[in-house]
Amino acid sequence: MEKFIPDEGRIKSTLNNYRRIKADVEETAVKAGRDPKDVRLMCVTKTVEAQYINPVLDDGANLIGENRVQEFLGKKDDLHLDKVEKHLIGHLQTNKVKQIVGEVDMIESVDSIKLAKEISKESVKKGVCTNVLVEVNVGKEESKSGIYIEQLEDLLFQISELPSICVKGLMTIPPICDNDAQVRKFFAIIHQSFIDIKAKTIDNVSMDILSMGMSADYEQAIMEGSNIVRVGSAIFGARKYC
């Protein structure tokens, strides 16, 4: 096999991007009147080769997000993951659950009871407990996965009955918006829902993590209470899908 030679210039710019965004996340948290330690930066590493990811991990990044089960399993052995938390953030099909349970620290994209049941079943079999977030489709877009906010509480109560699966919070991807105010409104809706659910006591359901904000809108998300921002292209550059 031909050896993949990484581009030194790209490694350098990736590291610069990571450091700049890390600093910006902290500054934005302070601006929002929050403790910068409460907002984590996730590096979204989908489609990126290990040779560009490892320098960022070696520089202190401690949370990565991958979209596809196959891609993650294929490259995880090449990644410097000793001190790194791994989250699955892409849509998960029930037939892939078997392969991913036990391989990641969190599945952020649970959006149906069918998927939750499969995760529960597989977790019991493997003797692990799987932490998940419920993905909310805040803009009710047909093109996106995620549950509608009206059905959220119902789903949480159903999941709370299942063994070996714990809900830790919510994840969302808002619609593409024309301006900051518009996108902030979507984030605010989910934040309010997060607060409302937190106030209730549901077995195996805690509202600790609010995962929202990506390259284009992470600042707005931090202003509206996000504690994990998922940043891909602003760190690694535009993605090339093949």
Ligand X SMILES: *Cc1c(COP(=O)(O)O)cnc(C)c1O
User: Is-contact 238 17, C-beta < 8 A?
Assistant: no
Q: Which is nearer to ligand X, 90 or 121 (CB)?
A: 90
Cβ proximity to ligand X: between 87 and 191 the closer is 87
Binding site for ligand X (CB under 6 A): 44, 46, 67, 89-90, 173, 214-216, 230-234
Q: How far is the CB of 201 from ligand X (least distance, A)?
A: 29
Q: What is the DSSP string of 28-79?
A: HHHHTTS-GGG-EEEEE-TT--HHHHHHHHHTT--EEEES-HHHHHHHGGGS
Residue nearest ligand X (C-beta atom): 232
CB of 146 to ligand X, least distance (A): 10
Quote the least distance from Cβ 235 to ligand X, whole Å.
8
Of the pair 62, 158, the CB lying nearest ligand X is at 62
Contacts 24+ apart (CB under 8 A), 188-196: 188/224, 189/138, 189/149, 190/136, 190/138, 190/149, 190/224, 191/224, 191/225, 191/226, 193/136, 193/149, 193/152, 194/169, 194/170, 194/225
Query: Least Å distance between CB 119 and ligand X?
Result: 17
Q: CB nearer to ligand X: give 92 or 101.
A: 92
Given the complex with ligand X, which of 90 and 225 has the nearer CB atom? Answer: 90
Report, in Å, the least distance between residue 177 CB and ligand X. Answer: 13
